[in-house]
Amino acid sequence: MRLLLISNSTNPGESYLEYPKEYIKEFLGEKPLNAIFIPYAAVTFSYEEYEEKVNQRFAEIGHHVTSIHRFINPVEAIQNADAIVVGGGNTWQLVKMLQEKGLMKVIRKKVKKGTPYIGWSAGSNIACPTLRTTNDMPIVEPLKFKTLKLVPFQINPHYLDDNPANHGGETREVRIKEFIEINQDTYVVGLREGTMLLLEEDELVLMGNRNARIFKYGQDPKELSNEDDFSFLLK
């Protein structure tokens, strides 16, 4: 499998998809591909707007996406895709739409056969076994929490070390520790903004200049950098 799982689309002060665009270019290669874009996580703006926004950045690296909403048969569109790109937004809405359109198994089967998969934020979250480590409000109710299970661990995108000023609620770390208390066999990767996980064959590495924070029940959280091997998460 080939996966590029990006924490966030935009760093403060940058244009949309500015920081990951060179990683995306290297991942996809030089040859233009038939890349299908899945915009279903969008809630407050249209799929057309989302497609255009992504293409403005992809054009700079010699690539183009076509949104899946433009196809009469979305299953066939996935089956014929050279690459699959899943944008961020609300994870619950994304999962509900993929389930209703019967695309979860189709995407999983396609990616398992080697089709490159790129996701950011919600698009990274659904590469995991479930959506239960998303930060998003459950604005809709999907049929189930199970997602693509392209990797055996969970990702918490946009991982933050601190709470906002004057906020007395739980930190992100506390929330994740609640998760691993109940799900004791599952690793959770706190994927900080500006970073991404790259999976090629059986090698998993961190890209970007910030560490990832790894959580597992019965272990102290540990910090790993882009010089570390993350492949133990695949076992």
Structure tokens at 36: 């299908």
Is 136 considered catalytic here?
yes
Is 158 considered catalytic here?
yes
pLDDT confidence of 188, banded at 50, 70, 90? very high
Q: Give the contacts of 29 (CB within 8 A, at least 6 positions apart).
A: none
Predicted TM-score of the model (pTM):
0.96
Percent of the chain beyond pLDDT 70? Answer: 98
pLDDT confidence of 170, banded at 50, 70, 90? confident
pLDDT confidence of 169, banded at 50, 70, 90? confident
Q: Is 213 exposed, middle or buried (0-12, 13-18, 19+ CB in 10 A)?
A: buried
* Residue pLDDT, tens place only, 11-28: 999 999 999 999 999 999
What are the distances in angstroms from CA 171 to CA 133, 159, 166?
A: 14, 10, 12
Catalytic pick among 7, 9, 121, 124: 121
Phi-psi domain of 111 (left: phi exceeds 0; alpha: psi -120 through 50; beta: other)? alpha
pLDDT confidence of 162, banded at 50, 70, 90? confident
Structure tokens at 141: 């109710």
- What average pLDDT does the structure give for the chain? 96
N- to C-terminal Cα separation, the chain: 15
Distance of CA 116 to the CA centre of its chain: 13
At residue 14, the 3 state secondary structure works out as coil
Kindly give the pairing relationship between strand 188-191 and strand 212-215.
Answer: antiparallel
Is 220 considered catalytic here?
no
pLDDT confidence of 201, banded at 50, 70, 90? confident
Domains and CATH numbers, the chain: 2-234 (3.40.50.880)
Q: What is the pLDDT of residue 14?
A: 93
Catalytic pick among 158, 167, 220, 229: 158
What are the distances in angstroms from CA 15 to CA 43, 118, 159?
A: 20, 19, 20
Q: What average pLDDT does this structure show over 166-173?
A: 80
